[in-house]
Amino acid sequence: MLLLQEFNIKIRNKKGVKNSVANHLSWIERENDLMPIRDEFPDEQLLHITTPTPWFVDICNLVVASQFPLEASQLYQERLQNDAKYYIWDDPYLWRLCNDQVIYRCIIDAEINLVLQFCDAAPGGSHYGSTRTARKVLDYGFYWPTIFRDAYQFVSTCEKCQKVGMAISRRHEMPQQPILFYEGIDLMGPFPLSNGYSYILLVVDYVSRWVKAIATKTNDAMVVVDFLKSNIFCHFGVLKALINDQGSHFYNRAMSSLLHKYGVVHRIAIAYHPRPTAKLKFSIGK
């Protein structure tokens, strides 16, 4: 009966008048004795599932409960306490604050191969070597202490990576140097009023010929200073030199103080000498 309880059985009663073979089974002779009924389940076992301990279990215990592992040496406790200040516990994940001030999520050992496999074969560029794969892991926001070593081991066993054989390293990359080195700045106007604006402030890069222009209401020094800080320095970094004419909106104390603060060389063009600002005037003409 215990075995029958595991199955979904529905018993229907059939009246004896309509059942012509009601006693048929009872009249059948037994050739062999039936085996005794066993109530226990054969080969019944209690399975115990174990999972590997994450690499950050000691850090979690220290961050959450301020507990060191048992029988840990003094040197290991000091190293663990020094590393724990870079970790943040946000249930159920552990996060690490790296040197680039970016927070990465720590993953367990069982997920490392899955992450490496995804980053190595990511769309838009795949099988480019261990360094590129490891950096993609960081770009996706994951972290574990041996990223570059595990990426090297994974790539060395990847068949497609061996066939492609691309070794794009820092030596082979194009230099990532900023273009905006020397810029010229000029102010155009006044023009007929349009929505309250009557001037155009223009900046041209002398290397890439990149042009940036905005409309302004006035032509004073503070407009130029705010433009350089919000549109140039914050977006593209500090310049090496800034070239302009002798206009009072460029050659003043506020402008000199700003450029001196960021270490930008301020070059003033000579009057009636168009060569230093030739590209700037050409952009204005266009």
Question: How is residue 100 written in tokens?
Answer: 């680039």
- The reported pLDDT for the residue numbered 223 is 92
Let me know if residue 188 belongs to a domain. Answer: yes
Please, are residues 250 and 220 in contact by the beta-carbon 8 Å criterion? Answer: no
From first to last of the 286 residues of the chain, give the pLDDT tens digit.
666 677 777 777 766 666 666 666 667 676 666 677 777 766 656 555 677 888 999 999 999 988 898 888 999 999 999 999 999 998 889 999 988 888 999 999 989 999 998 888 866 557 778 888 888 899 889 999 999 999 999 988 888 877 776 555 555 555 555 666 778 888 888 889 888 899 999 888 887 788 888 999 998 899 999 999 888 888 778 888 888 888 888 888 999 999 999 889 998 887 666 555 555 555 555 5
Cα–Cα distance, 206 to 280 (Å, whole number) = 8
Domain boundary among 165, 199, 216: 165
Q: Which of 221, 122, 18 is nearest to 135 (CA)?
A: 122
Q: Which of 176, 175, 173, 204 is nearest to 188 (CA)?
A: 204
Let me know if residue 160 belongs to a domain. Answer: yes
Let me know if residue 202 belongs to a domain. Answer: yes
Mapping DSSP to helix (H, G, I), strand (E, B) and coil, where does residue 110 land? Answer: helix
Q: State the total domains in the chain.
A: 2
Residues 61 and 97 in one domain: yes
Let me know if residue 200 belongs to a domain. Answer: yes
Residues 190 and 275 in one domain: yes
- The reported pLDDT for the residue numbered 106 is 94
The strand pairing partners of 97, in sequence order, are 103
> What is the residue whose two structure tokens read 């506020």?
254
Residues 138 and 226 in one domain: no
Let me know if residue 207 belongs to a domain. Answer: yes
Let me know if residue 62 belongs to a domain. Answer: yes
**Residue 147, burial from CB neighbour count under 10 angstroms (0-12, 13-18, 19+):** buried
Let me know if residue 172 belongs to a domain. Answer: no
Domain boundary among 165, 191, 207: 165
Residues 115 and 211 in one domain: no
pTM: 0.43
Residues 209 and 160 in one domain: no
Tell me how far CA of residue 92 lies from CA of 18, 36, 95, 141, 198, in angstroms: 66, 53, 10, 16, 58
What is the radius of gyration, based on Cα positions, of the chain? 38
Residues, the chain, total? Answer: 286
Q: What is the CATH number of the domain that holds 144?
A: 1.10.340.70
Pairing of strands 265-268, 211-216: unpaired
Domain boundary among 131, 165, 199: 165
Burial letters for 195-226: b for 16+ Cβ neighbours within 10 Å, e otherwise? Answer: eeebbbbbbbbbeeeeebeeebeebebebbbe
Q: Which of 218, 224, 216, 212 is nearest to 251 (CA)?
A: 224
Residues 78 and 156 in one domain: yes
Let me know if residue 36 belongs to a domain. Answer: no
Contacts of 248 (CB under 8 A, 6+ apart): 221
Strand order in the sheet with 103-106: 87-90, 93-97, 103-106, 142-143
The strand pairing partners of 214, in sequence order, are 201
* CA max distance for the chain: 129
Domain that holds residue 244: 183-283
Residues 127 and 220 in one domain: no
Residues 200 and 126 in one domain: no
- The reported pLDDT for the residue numbered 146 is 92
* Residue 64 main-chain phi, psi, to 5 deg: -85, -50
Residues 61 and 137 in one domain: yes
